[in-house]
């Protein structure tokens, strides 16, 4: 690509302020994508070197999980310096090179901002904990104990135990919704908000196109520190925390999900709008995730997109469940925009979680690319990677170590990407990898699938290309959402163009009546069935895609 071509691509990237709507975003977990330095850990240069592969998938953007300076207690989600790269991942110059490479390939770059909390090694916290009288004394959530010395309220940590940690220097507790080494910032302090907006400015000035916002609904706590009420047993689920975690026993209406959060989100949106940037927020809530998603993405002054955990849950969604979720989104987020994912770095890979056959994997890959909303694909899902079985002695995730063996943590979905079969580390590194490469993954490597027209990788490329070919799939409305038994069906429409989409989500054959009208067959490259008159016969796990022509 010539310099002029590169500039043309880069200029095209900024022409559409609505680029995020319907975008397909590829999530990269930097520790596990590509090691370029022989340390056994992935890095920014490694990501840049592999971006031509990502671009070949046809996606619009990448989301890079945290690479900031960090003690790595939670693998980068405990930030000690928001405005620098941890040496294990490289340098700011390496990041600038990554940005330039991505933009040269037509890829937007979103980075993972962890704003709700920092590391306890962050300079802000180190100053704050010195005394009750310093410049950052209230930058974090500090509270006196109850008269009996116990924590100020009943809030619980997602990682187990109380959400309060005693600090002997201040003789106070500090709030941590996650690890004790991840103290929560105090968003009731305007100076904290200003400092975090400065972080956003820093990365936007370096050329990032947007952010994935970690735990977006955790930013603000109840200033009165009221106890969370109990959650009835019948309402509990393990969407956010494993079932063995008592975190599931509370309604978290005071420790997170506060209405005061909206004011900060509007401030952040105003900063992003100056750069044409977009954000996707992670809504971590097991009871009201869709409602919060709707609240946070309503109008044009909050976040562009959010994702909840409905399709990241343990149970494979049936046709009826898809209809239930999509109709609820229409009800509680009609003015918002969802971002859908089946896998990410926090949950068991969906090929394993839902025990998918190859046919089911293909159908669901097509389905997610036909849904109204944007899409996140997690590295390796396009290869059909199963959850890796990581022995206890190799575990790195503190979450898994805490709740083993009932919950094995998140390491199984974070093992290194497999690029080739030529060595035991799958082309990821020449050293010992930070997590072992699953031997079962080697036969599913990129090299093994790139030249095979029947491989799942090729199906993912075709499904993404289908979405890019028909704007109604990317940006259009949906209607007539329903199901006949195990067959999910809906229509997507934009500017007078209407597509019919049906998905047999079962191992049985099915026959479906199609809407009245004349339909043109599309989607042959993803195995779409042909409509015969007013019906279509669907093989197990087959799709039907058609375009209205009359």
Residue of 78, 65, 233, 224 whose CA lies nearest to 159: 78
Chain-centre distance for alpha carbon 410: 14
DSSP string, 300-365: TSS-SEEE-SGGGSSSPP-HHHHHHHHHHHHHH-TTS-BEE-S--TTS--HHHHTT--HHHHHHHH
**Helix or strand (DSSP H, E) at 459:** helix 456-469
CA dist., res. 296 & res. 292, Å (int): 6
CA dist., res. 160 & res. 125, Å (int): 22
Indicate which residue of 112, 282, 295, 397 is catalytic.
282
- Give catalytic status of residue 260 as yes or no: no
Residue of 546, 523, 548 whose CA lies nearest to 464: 523
Question: Which residues have a Cβ under 8 Å from the Cβ of 11 and sit 6 or more positions away?
Answer: none
**Helix or strand (DSSP H, E) at 519:** strand 519-522
Strand, coil or helix: 25 = strand
CA dist., res. 74 & res. 79, Å (int): 9
Residue of 317, 350, 359 whose CA lies nearest to 543: 359
- Give catalytic status of residue 214 as yes or no: yes
Token readout for 498 is 């209407």
CA dist., res. 162 & res. 158, Å (int): 9
Report helix angle 261-273 to 289-297, nearest 10: 50
CA dist., res. 98 & res. 540, Å (int): 42
Token readout for 410 is 């998140």
Indicate which residue of 214, 285, 382, 397 is catalytic.
214
Considering Cα of 388, then 391, then 396, then 397, what sign does the dihedral take?
Answer: positive
Residue of 257, 263, 260 whose CA lies nearest to 291: 257
CA dist., res. 78 & res. 121, Å (int): 9
Which long-range contacts does 519-525 make (Cβ < 8 Å, 24+ apart)?
519/546, 519/547, 519/548, 519/549, 520/546, 520/547, 520/548, 520/549, 521/545, 521/546, 522/466, 522/470, 522/546, 522/547, 523/366, 523/466, 525/462, 525/465, 525/466
CA dist., res. 106 & res. 59, Å (int): 9
- Compute the chain's Rg from CA coordinates: 23
Tell me which residues are annotated as active site: 214, 282
């Amino acid at each position: 690509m010539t310099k002029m071509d590169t500039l043309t691509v880069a200029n095209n990237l900024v022409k559409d302020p609505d680029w995020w709507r319907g975008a397909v975003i590829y999530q990269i977990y930097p520790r596990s994508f590509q090691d370029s330095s022989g340390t056994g850990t992935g890095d920014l240069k490694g990501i840049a070197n592999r971006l031509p592969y990502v671009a070949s998938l046809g996606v619009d953007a990448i989301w890079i999980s945290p690479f900031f300076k960090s003690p790595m207690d939670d693998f980068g989600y405990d930030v000690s310096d928001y405005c620098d790269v941890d040496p294990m991942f490289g340098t700011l110059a390496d990041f600038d090179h990554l940005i330039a490479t991505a933009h040269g390939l037509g890829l937007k770059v979103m980075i993972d901002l962890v704003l709700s909390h920092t590391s306890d090694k962050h300079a802000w916290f180190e100053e704050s904990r010195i005394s009750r009288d310093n410049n950052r004394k209230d930058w974090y959530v500090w509270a006196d104990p109850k008269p009996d010395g116990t924590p100020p309220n009943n809030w619980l940590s997602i990682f187990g135990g109380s959400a309060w940690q005693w600090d002997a220097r201040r003789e106070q507790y500090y709030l941590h919704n996650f690890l004790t080494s991840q103290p929560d910032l105090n968003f009731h302090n305007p100076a904290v908000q200003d400092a975090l907006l400065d972080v956003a400015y820093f990365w936007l000035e370096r050329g990032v196109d947007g952010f994935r916002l970690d735990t977006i609904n955790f930013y603000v706590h109840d200033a009165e520190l009221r106890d969370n009420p109990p959650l009835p047993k019948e309402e509990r689920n393990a969407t956010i925390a494993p079932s063995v975690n008592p975190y599931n026993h509370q309604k978290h209406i005071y420790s997170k999900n506060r209405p005061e959060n909206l004011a900060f989100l509007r401030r952040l949106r105003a900063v992003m709008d100056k750069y044409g940037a977009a954000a996707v927020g992670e809504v971590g809530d097991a009871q009201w995730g869709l409602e919060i998603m709707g609240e946070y993405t309503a109008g044009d002054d909050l976040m562009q997109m959010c994702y909840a955990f409905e399709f990241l849950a343990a149970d494979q969604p049936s046709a009826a469940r898809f209809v239930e979720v999509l109709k609820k989104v229409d009800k509680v987020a009609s003015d918002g925009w969802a971002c859908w994912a089946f896998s990410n770095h926090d949950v068991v890979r969906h090929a394993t979680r839902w025990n998918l056959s190859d046919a089911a994997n293909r159908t669901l890959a097509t389905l997610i690319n036909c849904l109204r909303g944007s899409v996140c694909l997690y590295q390796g899902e396009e290869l059909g990677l199963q959850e890796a079985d990581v022995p206890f002695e190799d575990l790195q995730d503190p979450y898994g170590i805490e709740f083993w063996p009932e919950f094995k943590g998140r390491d199984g979905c974070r093992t290194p990407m497999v690029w080739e079969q030529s060595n035991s580390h799958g082309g990821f590194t020449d050293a010992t990898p930070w997590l072992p490469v699953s031997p079962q993954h080697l036969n599913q490597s990129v090299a093994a699938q790139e030249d095979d027209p029947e491989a799942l990788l090729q199906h993912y490329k075709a499904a993404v290309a289908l979405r890019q070919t028909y704007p109604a799939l990317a940006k259009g409305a949906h209607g007539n959402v329903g199901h006949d038994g195990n067959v999910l069906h809906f229509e997507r429409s934009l500017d007078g163009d209407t597509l019919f989409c049906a998905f047999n989500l079962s191992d049985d054959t099915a026959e479906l009546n199609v809407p009245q009208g004349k339909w043109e067959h599309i989607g042959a490259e993803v195995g779409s069935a042909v409509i015969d008159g007013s019906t279509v016969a669907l093989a197990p796990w087959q799709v039907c895609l058609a375009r209205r022509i009359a």
